Structure 1
Amino acid sequence: MSFISNDKKYEAVSSTNASVVYATVSGFAEKKAKYWFSDYVFVIEVYWTNKQTTYIKRSYGDVMNLYGDLKDHFSNKYEKGLIKTPAFIPKLEGKSFLQKNSVGLAEHREIELQSFFKQLLESNPLISSNKVVVDFFTRRKTDPVPCETSQQFEDTEDDFDEDNDDILFDR
């Protein structure tokens, strides 16, 4: 939704639209790419204002695109006078052409992305409800769907192990 006031166009987020409250990187997986290169995708757990939680997977390149889109979007708004101060967009290290993708690099990027999302979403409510951010965190067809266990486990004397400390199942 947008409206015009004093020859300036302003964007507004409808109260029915959800915005991102928090996002946490919960792991990564190797993604085989074309030819001999491999890449990693990061699984991100997204918490929304409508109390839903979704899981998405994005590559480091996807996050770099988000970073560039946000920088462009908010610098354009600042230059046009639509916002009074420049928006704070946390920095990312970026890709290096000489750096080989490895598990160690993916682990480093997981920590970097965790910090980036935390700073980004906590800095300004206009950012967490911005269309660029909401579109990035919105679930796509290729994103994982957590399976829900509908089957109930019943305890019987034959399969009950008193020494089992498995905290994943309520007994």
Structure 2
Amino acid sequence: MPLLGSADRYEALSSCNDSVVYAVVSGFVEKKQKYWFPDYLYVLEIYWTSKTTTYAKRSYSDIITLQEQLLAYFSEKYDAGLLKSPVYVPRLQGKKMFRQNSIDLAEQREAEIQNFFRELLGGNPLVSSNKIVIDFLSRRHSDPTPSTSGGDNHVTSGEDDDDGDDVLFDR
């Protein structure tokens, strides 16, 4: 019988022992497109067990990919007998053919993403400390950072290109 803390049983725990407490969607911004139809990036405010807060910009497609990776990962672990019970991963509606992106659709998806992260991170602790989740929500160069200017609560983009972000981001 393996020890409770064996690496093969609990590989979902991150190496830094930091996990996500919760994540909220604090808005969305239009992503500059080369084609006619706009796409949107959703701004996530992430609260960590280390008592830090970070911000991330992720597309709906990115979040669908996260969902698919988690479903495959936990399904594989359960099928291999490494988990006693299946791990719940909430489902997103997904993209639909011939559905044009619009602000109305972005607002609907904002609420859907909010519910997704609430259910995802409010459930099994194996999820909030999972490497897939940690990597997805960890800071990237393109993610916004808190502004250090004059005491306002704006965040800056961290990108040097002009991607047309709205007032959520300082330039």
Q: Which TM-score tier does this pair reach, normalised by the shorter chain?
A: 0.7 to 0.9
Change (3 A) 1:81 1:66: same
Is 2:77 the partner of 1:77?
yes
Change (3 A) 1:85 1:146: same
TM-score (norm 2): 0.81
Cα RMSD for the two superposed structures? 2.3
Q: Is the 2:28–2:110 Cα contact (8 Å) retained in structure 1? A: yes
User: Relative contact order (C-alpha < 8 Å, sep 6+): which is higher?
Assistant: 2
Is 2:8 the partner of 1:9?
yes
1:11-160 matches, within 5 Å, as: 11-12=10-11, 13=13, 16-150=16-150
For 2:154, the equivalent position in structure 1 comes to none
**1:64-111 C-alpha deviation (Å, 9 max, x unpaired):** 000000000000000000001111001100001211000000000000
Equivalenced residue count is 149
Contiguous gaps of at least 5 residues in structure 1: 152-171
Q: Which has the larger radius of gyration?
A: 1
Offset at residue 56 of structure 1 (A): 0.4
TM-score (norm 1): 0.81
Change (3 A) 1:146 1:128: same
**1:14-51 C-alpha deviation (Å, 9 max, x unpaired):** 67421000100000011022222320000000000000
Contiguous gaps of at least 5 residues in structure 2: 152-171
Change (3 A) 1:54 1:69: same
Change (3 A) 1:52 1:22: same
Percent sequence identity is 52
Q: Is the 1:8–1:82 Cα contact (8 Å) retained in structure 2? A: no
